[in-house]
Amino acid sequence: MARVKKSAVLVGCNYANTRNELHGCINDVLAMQATLIDRFGFETDDIKLLTDAPGSRIMPTGTNIKKVLGQMIDGAGPGDILFFHYSGHGTLIPSHGHGPNKKDEAIVPCDFNLITDIDFRHLVNRLPKGASFTIFSDSCHSGGLIDKEKEQIGPHVHDHGPHTNSGSHHRPKTIPFDSILNHLTKISGIQSSDVGAHLSEVFGSDASAKFRSHSLQSGTSNRVGPDDGILISGCQTNETSADMDPNDDGSKAYGAFSNAVQTVLEDHKGVISNRELVTRVREVLHVQGFKQHPCLYCSDQNADATFLRQSTSSSV
């Protein structure tokens, strides 16, 4: 029987020396890297780390993130366990063809080449049979980041309404759409309110599939039936996720969601299901005073499957 391979891509964007600077995102993924190796049996060589720290070997641009994720999926076999942890800014963008008030979720790589819910749907649809792909997104507006994935825990199941975190050591991990559009207008040199026009002008074929031809956008997004994509988001679509810097110098900075996940895993040494993990992380954040509600999107079967398919024999 072939050995199950465990692979991960970890992305931390701090956007240093910009108006969008965060402080805890690189710390988040370094902590997760250690957890994957020490607890879940991932091999160091099977973990790809992309950060925007000075001297980083692979910068977390939109192109690089999608390339590394695509390579991970293309190299997977049946039953393999794939994991993606993103810590950085998120945003909401107008949804093409769904009315003026509909917004879609996206993450914001260091070069602003947005990666959208459609892109994550395309990646999930490429999974080999029986392989699982768990996405952690510690970013604002991250609920629903896999297009058309089934909601298990979220605003329609546990509706708390919109919330915004507050606190002297907190920064929300969001870049408003207007700021995204203004930045892209400066680098594209064109005048348009269509963010897709700017992204296509600047990044060409490396822009999100959401902004390319309708056939490409919809051809693989209309998935029928359950799949093995698992989204564990730091908050609901209408909420922000907190980046905390308690010392105001970045030394102990962290994402509130990523830190709560680490807390739950430390306190719960046995196997834990995806549903239980999200439920416990919500409780930790509530006790800590954060007004963000992590969500779970996946099939019914994966909701009750153990996180990263950890077996009883491998638990510590």
* Number of continuous H segments (helices) and E segments (strands) in the chain: 9, 13
- What would the two tokens of residue 25 be? 């995102």
First to last CA, the chain: 25
Judged by DSSP in three states, 222 sits in: coil
112: which residues sit within 8 A by CB, 6+ positions away? 62, 180, 183, 184, 187
Pairing of strands 81-87, 6-12: parallel
Catalytic-role residue among 13, 25, 85, 89: 89
- What would the two tokens of residue 131 be? 């392989």
Check if 235 is active-site. Answer: no
HSE, side-chain direction, 13 A CA sphere, residue 256: 31
Catalytic-role residue among 13, 25, 110, 140: 140
Strands in the chain per DSSP E:
6-12, 47-51, 81-87, 90-94, 103-107, 115-116, 132-138, 151-153, 170-172, 229-233, 242-244, 254-255, 295-297
Check if 183 is active-site. Answer: no
Furthest-apart CA pair in the chain: how many Å?
Answer: 59
The catalytic residue positions are 89, 140
